[in-house]
């Protein structure tokens, strides 16, 4: 990444120098035609740059402090000042563009963070809704299980079946026959006088009734 960025930086510097040349030429023409611009705008930066350059070189070479710094003549000051102003203008424009790009990237990142936060909140709301639905379904299942258990407990009761019902064919030798007297309302009214004895053989009852007749 650094190897790729280094040529790009060099190309950027070269581009700034190439762009600054037309601006410097324009400033030179303006300095030649305008005394105010030449005296108060173009020449002061050139003289200050010359003074700083001489001071720095003598300090780096350990030559001591210079007593006086020679002043540039008007032509050299105009040329140097125009070049400096052109580079300053290009640097300012480049810095402004970088600042705008930084702000754009910052806004883009902020929008991404906001979108991620919004998606996170939506997912959290969806999870909460699903948890609520699961709890509701669990409650319904428990209620269904309870009702089912109640129905099973009720359906498990069965009536007791008697092994021997009264008036069955099985007889106990100690059991006495039950005599039901005859009534005039019965269909067998001609034989009503004899009555009917329960628990005895019907054939014997028939024979007895015929004998009595």
DSSP-assigned letter for residue 128: H
pLDDT tens, per residue, the chain with 213 residues: 444 445 666 676 677 667 777 877 787 777 778 888 888 888 888 889 888 888 888 888 877 776 677 888 888 888 888 888 888 888 888 888 889 889 999 999 999 999 999 999 999 999 999 999 999 999 999 999 999 888 888 776 555 554 555 555 555 555 555 545 555 554 444 544 445 444 445 454 444 444 444
The whole-angstrom separation of Cα 21 and Cα 82 is 9
User: Cα angle at 82 between 94 and 72, to 5 degrees?
Assistant: 135
The whole-angstrom separation of Cα 25 and Cα 49 is 19
Whole-model pTM: value is 0.47
DSSP-assigned letter for residue 194: T
Question: Which of 78, 16, 90, 21 has its CA nearest to residue 45?
Answer: 78
């Amino acid at each position: 990444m650094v190897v790729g960025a280094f040529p790009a930086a060099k190309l950027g510097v070269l581009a700034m120098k190439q762009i600054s040349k037309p601006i410097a030429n324009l400033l030179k023409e303006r300095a030649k035609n305008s005394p105010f611009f030449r005296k108060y705008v173009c020449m002061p930066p050139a003289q200050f740059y010359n003074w700083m350059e001489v001071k720095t070189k003598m300090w780096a070479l350990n030559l001591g402090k210079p007593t006086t710094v020679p002043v540039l003549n008007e032509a050299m000051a105009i040329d140097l000042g125009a070049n400096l102003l052109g580079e300053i203008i290009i640097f300012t424009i480049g810095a402004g563009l970088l600042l705008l790009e930084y702000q754009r990237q910052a806004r883009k990142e902020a929008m991404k963070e906001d979108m991620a936060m919004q998606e996170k909140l939506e997912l959290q709301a969806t999870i909460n809704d699903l948890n609520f639905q699961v709890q509701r379904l669990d409650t319904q299942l428990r209620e269904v299980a309870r009702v089912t258990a109640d129905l099973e407990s009720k359906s498990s009761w069965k009536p007791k079946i008697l092994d021997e019902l009264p008036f069955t064919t099985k007889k106990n030798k100690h059991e006495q026959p039950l005599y039901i007297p005859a009534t005039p309302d019965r269909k067998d009214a001609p034989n009503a006088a004899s009555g009917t004895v329960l628990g005895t053989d019907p054939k014997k009852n028939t024979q007895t009734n015929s004998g009595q007749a």
